[in-house]
Chains A and B, each alone.
Chain A
Amino acid sequence: MRKSPLLRISAALVFAFLYIPLIVVVIFSFNASKLNAEWVGFTLDWYRVLFHNERMLIAARNSLFIATMAAMLATILGTMAGIAMHRFRPRFLPFMALTPLAMPEILLGVSLLIFFISAFGENALSLLTVIIAHTTFCIGFVAIIVRARLSGMDESVFEAARDLGATPWQSFRLVTFPLIRPAVVAGALMSFTLSIDDFVITFFTAGAGVPTLPLTIYTMIKIAVTPEVNALSTLMMLLTLFLIVVASKVAPDLFRSKRLVKDDEAESKA
């Protein structure tokens, strides 16, 4: 089908709107001027400054730790939820798992804050509460990715495993898990990026003692948007981009609009 020029122009505008600000940030992270106004010359100084900033390093460590833990927990729980949704077709589980994805973040943040304070007291907020909060909104992502993968597969493969002598656990370990592994890995990577980028929910559940990268950036730009922030943003962008690319490699069907063709149909005539 021929695409009309109007369609091309509007698509170009949308992409420009999305990506030009990101490109500007990247460019200015290499700018020798302290102001984000004009290009003065190329420098890597801001990256050097960044890596000597103690506050920043602590925040980065916190963020990486939280993202790793939250991704791990969300992947385990989300995979279990995805399999349960597929196998038992429960009526309410999908809603319960997916609602946090659609709910306004601020609502989730406030309700988690109230929950933690009322359940564990005034000083409850810590790394742990952030991890729990991040896990809750990542579970849904993992669950839908895993379920999508399962629903594209021939159900009798799982029965065949049992039929040929595998216990339920062996059948999971040797057949189900290898087949859903791409979805599990993609879910884990998605969770990691969602967690490391999250601001709103972290803001409500982290308290004072747990600065994360997004929180630190926010405090920094309250004073001024320094090139240092640009450098940090550029690095986070790179990490996120890298994880998305990896996710698209391990689970290409999640990023393609083409329907997943089952092995059986593809070559039955061969």
Chain B
Amino acid sequence: MALLEIRNVTRRFDDFVAVDRVDLSVNAGEFFTLLGPSGCGKTTLLRMIAGFDQPDEGAIVLDGIDLKDTPPEKRPVHTVFQSYALFPHMTVEQNIAFPLKMARQSEDEIRVKVKNALSQVALNDRAARYPHELSGGQRQRVALARGLVNRPRLLLLDEPLGALDAKLREQMQIELIALQRDIGVTFIFVTHSQAEALALSHRIAVMNHGRVEQLDEPDKLYGAPKNRFVADFIGNVNMHEATVQSAGATLTLLLGKLGQITAPARAGVNVGDAGVFVIRPEQVSIRAASEASSDPNQFVGVINDFLYTGDVTTYIVDLPDGARLEALLPNSAPGRAKFFELGDPVRVSWKAEAGAFLTS
């Protein structure tokens, strides 16, 4: 049985439907992520799990028990808030001891657990400090230690890395994964950053307009998005309007004026269906127009722009029909920043099994 079940939950604020018939379950020990743009309902869902808000319809069930009548303090669920919400009038130690005191544990027990929690987040030397004396990363770790110290069944994390700078965020991501693995507490993580979600999660629910668009493992989400929204939201993607010309072991698609391509088959697709063809920039090969390619799908275009990001360069190629295509080339050769110049004619190509045709 799943640890947490969200059963057909709906939450409305006046006319606005914040969460719309969401149905999902989270397994024990899982690092589960709710991912979506702001306003997609992920935080509302989190607040209902924590008990700060109630569903209008549906049920939230933890360990087989409906949480409807359980106030926040009685739920074995703790939250790490976006602002950390450390108690400013308590020291680090007192902050971490708070949930243990509320659970009426003995002084001795509390002392041992706080000490362990402090060393787990490497803050032993900050025990007597107040939150305002700590850096952003340290506060973050105190909030984590406080949320985990009495081992809740579920730890909710509401964009906890949002306030940190890029370098620190990466470091905290690694710490989060290690902490979750060591302690084994189930995490539900809320973020609008797809990179963060992909890096951290076992499974991700992509949300938009209050609904779950797709629930999958990170590689499946990235590699096989179910619809345009997911394809576009997770990572970079090239999209081109397409119509199905023949459907069999493979699909033959007509990409407008560009011509025909061969794409992977997809169940439930019929000849004449209109939709989009999506392909990731790193699946597109790029070479000089004069060189030949054995790929079945290839077009000649012109370099319009490029984006050098150190490890890779993204080339933006103008195709004959006016469409743009992004192609990624790793800069593996030392000292090599780019292979092509603006205006160079290039050949872009991809394999028959790359990309996907999406109707919704």
Question: Which residues does A use to contact B, with CB under 8 Å?
Answer: 154, 156-157, 159-167, 170-171, 174-175, 178-179, 263-264, 266-270
Complex formed: what's the CA distance from A7 to B37 in Å? 53
B84 partner residues in chain A, CB cutoff 8 A: 264
Contact A160 B79 (CB under 8 A): yes
The distance in angstroms between the C-alpha atoms of A157 and B83, with both chains bound, is 9
Option from B82, B135, B146 in Cβ contact (under 8 Å) with A267? B135
Evaluate contact between A160 and B102: CB separation under 8 angstroms: no
Question: B87 is contacted by which of A161, A162, A170, A270 (Cβ under 8 Å)?
Answer: A161
Complex CA gap A159/B43 in Å reads 14
Q: Assuming the A-B contacts A165-B73, A178-B89, A263-B88, are A159 and B99 also in contact, with contact meaning beta carbons closer than 8 angstroms in the complex?
A: no
Nearest CB of chain A from residue B90's CB, rounded to whole Å: 8
Closest Cβ of chain A to B109, distance in Å, is 15
Contact yes or no, B72 A263, CB < 8 A: no
Q: Which residues of B contact A268 (CB under 8 A)?
A: 135-136, 163
A166 adjacent to B73 (CB under 8 Å): yes
Report chain B residues within 8 Å CB of A178: 89
Point out the residues of chain A lying under 8 angstroms from B83, CB to CB.
154, 156, 264
Evaluate whether A165 and B102 lie within 8 angstroms (CB atoms) in the complex, with A264-B83, A270-B134, A270-B135 already known: yes
CB-defined contacts of B72 to chain A, threshold 8 Å: 159, 162-163
Measured between beta carbons, the chain B residues less than 8 angstroms from A171 are: 73
In the complex, whether B233 has a CB less than 8 A from a CB of chain A is no
Question: Which interface residue of A162, A165, A171 has the most chain B CB atoms within 10 A?
Answer: A165
The answer to whether B136 and A160 have CB atoms under 8 Å apart is no
Q: Is the interface of A mostly helix, strand, loop or mixed?
A: helix
Contact B81–A156 (Cβ < 8 Å): yes
Find residues 128-162 in chain B having any chain A CB closer than 8 Å to their own CB.
Answer: 131-136, 146-147, 150
Q: Is the CB of A263 within 8 A of B89?
A: no
Q: Which residues of B contact A (CB under 8 A)?
A: 50-52, 71-73, 77-79, 81-89, 98-99, 102-103, 131-136, 146-147, 150, 163
Contact of B132 among A166, A170, A267 (CB under 8 A): A267
The reply to whether B163 and A162 contact each other, CB–CB distance below 8 Å, is no
Question: A267-B135, A270-B135 are contacts. A162–B71 as well, Cβ < 8 Å?
Answer: yes
A51 to chain B, nearest CB (A): 43
A263 with B78: CB separation less than 8 A: no
Q: Which of B71, B87, B89, B103 is in CB contact (< 8 Å) with A160?
A: B87
How far, in angstroms, from A163 to B98 measured CA to CA in the complex?
Answer: 11
11 example contacts (A-B, Cβ-Cβ < 8 A) are as follows A156-B82, A157-B85, A157-B88, A159-B50, A159-B81, A160-B87, A163-B52, A164-B102, A167-B73, A174-B98, A178-B89
Q: Which among B71, B85, B99, B102 has the greatest number of chain A C-beta atoms within 10 A?
A: B85
Residues of B within 8 Å of A270, CB to CB, are: 133-136
Contacts of B73 in A (CB 8 A): 162-167, 171
| Residues in B neighbouring A161, C-beta threshold 8 A | 87, 98
Taking the nearest CB of chain A, how far is it from the CB of B258, in angstroms? 49
Bound complex: CA A175 to CA B94 (Å): 12
- Chain A residue at smallest Cβ distance from B104: A165
Our pick among A159, A170, A179, A263 for the contact of B131 (Cβ within 8 Å) is A263
Closest chain-A Cβ to B204's Cβ sits at a distance in Å of 24
Q: Which residues of B contact A170 (CB under 8 A)?
A: 102
Q: Are A157 and B87 in contact (CB under 8 A)?
A: yes
Question: What is the CA–CA distance of A175 and B84 in the complex, to the nearest angstrom?
Answer: 15
Contacts of B134 in A (CB 8 A): 267, 270
Min CB distance A137 to B, Å, is: 31
Instruction: Give Cα A170–Cα B134 distance, bound, in whole angstroms.
Output: 26
Min Cβ gap B99→A in Å is 4
Q: Which of A156, A162, A164, A167 contacts B146 (CB 8 A)?
A: A164
Instruction: Give the nearest-CB partner of A269 in chain B.
Output: B136
Residue of A nearest to B88 (CB): A263
Shortest Cβ distance from B235 into chain A, in angstroms?
Answer: 29
Excluding A163-B78, A166-B102, A178-B89, 10 further A-B contacts by CB distance (< 8 Å) are A156-B81, A159-B79, A162-B51, A163-B52, A165-B150, A166-B73, A179-B88, A263-B131, A268-B163, A269-B136
Question: Once the chains bind, are A156 and B85 in contact (CB under 8 Å)?
Answer: yes
The 8 Å CB contact of B79, one of A163, A166, A174, is A163
What's the Cα separation between A178 and B89 when bound, in Å?
Answer: 7
The interface centre, meaning the residue of A166, A171, A179, A268 with most chain B CB atoms within 10 A of its CB, is: A268
Chain B contacts for A263, CB-based, 8 A: 88, 131-132
Which B residues are CB-close (under 8 A) to A179? 88-89
Question: Which residues from B are CB-within-8-Å of A175?
Answer: 87
The answer for the CA separation of A154 and B135 in the assembled complex, in Å, is 18
A269 to B168, CA, bound (A): 11
Specify which chain B residues have a CB less than 8 angstroms from the CB of A165 in the assembled complex: 73, 98-99, 102-103, 150
Query: B85 to A159, Cβ gap below 8 A?
Result: yes
Question: How far is A165 from B74 in the complex, measured between Cα atoms in Å?
Answer: 6
* Chain A residues within 8 Å of B89, by CB: 178-179
Q: Measured between alpha carbons, how far is A266 from B85 in the docked complex, in Å?
A: 15
The residues of A that contact B150 with a CB separation of less than 8 Å are 165
Q: Which of B52, B72, B81 counts the most A-chain CB atoms under 10 A from its CB?
A: B72
